[in-house]
Structure 1
Amino acid sequence: MKPYFLPLSLGFASLCAIATPASAQTFEGPYVGAQAGWSQNKLGTVETDGGAAQIDDSRDAATAGVFFGYNIQPANRIVLSAEGAVNFGFDDGVSRSQKDAMGRINPEYGFDLGVRAGYLVTDNTLVYARGGYENIRASVRLRNIEGAYGDKDNFDGWSVGGGVERAVTDRISARVEYRYSDLGGSGTKFERHQALFGIAYHF
Structure 2
Amino acid sequence: MRFASRALMTLAASAALTASAFAADLYIPEQPFIPTSPASSWSGAYVGVHVGYGFGEAIDIDNDGYTWDMSGLIAGAQAGVNYQMDGIVLGLEADIAWTGVNGPYLFNGALDDEDYVASISWMSTLRGRVGVDLDGYLVYGTAGVAIAGLFIDYFDDDSAETHVGFAVGAGVEKMITETISLKAEYLYANFGAVDHYDQDYPLSFDVHTVKAGLNFHF
For normalisation by structure 2, the TM-score amounts to 0.69
Q: Is 1:59 aligned with 2:70?
A: yes
Within-5 A mapping of 1:16-165: 21=37, 23-25=39-41, 27-45=42-60, 55-73=66-84, 75-90=85-100, 92-96=101-105, 98=112, 103-122=116-135, 124-141=136-153, 149-165=157-173
RCO higher in structure (CA 8 A, sep ≥6): 1
Question: Any idea what SS the aligned residue of 1:65 has?
Answer: strand
* Distance apart, 1:149 and its partner CA: 3.8
For normalisation by structure 1, the TM-score amounts to 0.74
* Distance apart, 1:44 and its partner CA: 2.1
* Distance apart, 1:126 and its partner CA: 0.6
Structure whose CA Rg is larger: 2
Instruction: Give the 4+ runs in structure 1 shifted more than 6 A.
Output: none
> Which residue number corresponds to residue 15 of structure 1?
none
Letter in 1 for 2:137: T
Deviations 1:85-112 (A, max 9, x none): 110112x22221758xx74321111211
The Cα RMSD (Å) is 2.7
In structure 2, relative to structure 1, the CA distance for the partners of 1:169 and 1:38 (3 Å cut) is: same
Letter in 2 for 1:191: D
Alpha-carbon distance in 1 for matches of 2:190, 2:153 = 21
Q: Is the 8 Å Cα contact of residues 22 and 170 (structure 1) preserved in structure 2? A: no
* Distance apart, 1:137 and its partner CA: 1.3
- What are the ranges of 5 or more consecutive residues in structure 1 without an aligned counterpart? 1-20
Q: Is 1:196 aligned with 2:211?
A: yes
Letter in 1 for 2:71: D
Q: Is the 8 Å Cα contact of residues 71 and 102 (structure 2) preserved in structure 1? A: no
Q: Percent identity?
A: 23
Question: Any idea what SS the aligned residue of 2:192 has?
Answer: coil
